[in-house]
A and B are shown apart, each in its own frame.
Chain A
Amino acid sequence: MSSHPFNYTLLLADNSLIMGHRLSEWTGHGPILEQDIAISNIALDLIGQSRNFYQYAAQIKGDGATEDSLAYFRDAHEFKNILLVELPNGDWAKTILKLFFFSTYQYYLYQKLVDSSDKQLSAIAEKSLKEVTYHVRWSSEWVIRLGDGTEESSNRIKNALKELWGYTGEMFIPSNYESECAQNNIGVEVSSLKNDWENKVKEIFDEATLSIPAQRIDGSDGKNGGHTKHLEEILNEMQFLQRTYPGCEW
């Protein structure tokens, strides 16, 4: 086992970056100004967190790697993010529910990652946890508002739930490198987060008059580079400038 958790750090970075990038697509398109600003701020937090992880991953890798080379010069199959974060935003309800699932997951994950034997991962988790706490609150309030709102809003979030629920299982199934890191007290045993996560989701769903679907399909492989075509679409846009003009700065 390598004592340097390169793949594990990349997973954390990729999850935050892709989620942050998706949310940033709302900038300028939010339903009202305050919510446009809110979602843009959350995107900024997530991209900032991913930078901290990428900088650390680049340091582990050495060999001239930088945060930019990791973000802009890897292909889709090299990204390790879970599929949930790469899915298209859809309507506001789908975006909110996706963020709620993800933020709640990050919240419990970072709470444990603070105790990592790896000082840098612990430091990033400590920093990020404060921000994620606000994301959980904001997205929870919206889940309740939509679920317990009008017939239209309730239908929309129910449709989003049908689409997204199947993707939530992946968060709690460890990849090989996550298991290795968990055994070495560097990473978090993700299967141990499932109960807390489901309890929190249920608590908010009760307020929102939503119910957790009975079935969940637990098979996807984003953590090992198996992605939907949507990731390719994100990367085409996100990496375009650096691929066309490598090293360009302004």
Chain B
Amino acid sequence: MILEKNISPKQIWEMLAQITDPEIPVISIVDLGIVRNVRSDHSGIEIFITPTYSGCPAMDVISMNIRIGLLQKGLSNIKITQQLSPAWTTDWMTENGKAQLKAYGIAPPQTRSHGSPSDRISKLLFNDDVMVECPQCHSKNTTLLSQFGSTACKALYQCQECKEPFDYFKCH
């Protein structure tokens, strides 16, 4: 039995790294970048998480999984706080996380720098399609099929070489 007061934030981070996203079970919530902070003191443990998308149905499940995961380690005095700002961005996804997505068959987000918001909208509209590499055959000859894929955070692409359709984790 571990006592909350004896545990360091580092150990909690390690435990959280074992908890995966329910929709993409190969990536941990730490690699996904949604765990923002961990605090622990004599009064208990507080974990700050930030939602990927406002309507992401996985958030409730993630909170529950954190509770269950830590409970299994003997930690029960846990507070989970949702933090909206700063807003989650795919830039917070770790390189390790991106590699895991790719191995799973989901093209990871392409990092790019965003201009001002008004720039961004015109680019987004007509000529800012990023080049997305096929996670299967690594061809760059791919086409956007739909801006919205199997979940809100993904777009649907198709590879023109191997013809496989695949999910692309959108930049956010």
Residue ranges of A at the interface with B (Cβ–Cβ < 8 Å): 34-35, 37-38, 41-42, 44-49, 51-52, 107, 111, 119-120, 122-124, 126-131, 133-134, 136-138, 140-141, 200
Contact = CB atoms under 8 A, between A and B. Distances in A.
Contacts of A141: 125
Interface residues of B, number: 29
Contacts of B11: none
B53 A133 contact: no
By Cβ-Cβ distance, the 6 closest A-B pairs, closest first, are A48-B55, A48-B54, A123-B85, A38-B148, A44-B55, A34-B146
A130 B84 contact: no
A140 B150 contact: no
Contacts of B51: 48, 127
- Residue among B118, B124, B125 with the most chain A CB within 10 A? B125
B147 interface: yes
A129 B84 contact: no
Contacts of B84: 52, 120, 123-124, 126-127
B106 interface: no
Contacts of B156: 34
Interface of B: 51, 53-57, 84-89, 117-118, 120-121, 124-125, 145-152, 156, 170, 172
A137 B150 CA distance: 18
A133 B120 contact: yes
B87 A130 contact: yes
Given A111-B117, A130-B87, A137 B148 contact: no
A127 B120 contact: no
B148 A129 contact: no
B119 to A, nearest CB: 11
Contacts, number: 86
A154 to B, nearest CB: 20
9 contacts: A37-B150, A47-B55, A49-B54, A52-B54, A111-B118, A123-B84, A133-B120, A133-B124, A134-B148
B85 A119 contact: yes
Contact of B85 (A34, A35, A42, A126): A126
B54 A34 contact: no
B109 to A, nearest CB: 12
A44 B85 contact: no
A137 B125 CA distance: 5
Nearest to A52: B54
Contacts of B170: 134
A129 B85 CA distance: 12
B85 A49 contact: no
Given A45-B55, A137-B124, A35 B146 contact: yes
Contacts of A111: 117-118
Nearest to A134: B147
Contact of A127 (B85, B118, B124): B85
Given A37-B150, A122-B85, A131-B152, 11 more contacts: A34-B145, A37-B148, A41-B148, A47-B55, A48-B53, A124-B84, A126-B84, A128-B54, A130-B172, A133-B124, A136-B125
Contacts of A119: 85
Contacts of A107: 121
A37 B146 contact: yes
Nearest to A45: B55
Given A52-B84, A140-B125, A38 B54 contact: no
A41 B152 contact: yes
Contacts of B124: 133-134, 136-137
Contacts of B147: 38, 134, 137-138
Nearest to B86: A126
Given A35-B146, A38-B147, A130-B87, A51 B120 contact: no
- Residue among A34, A41, A200 with the most chain B CB within 10 A? A41
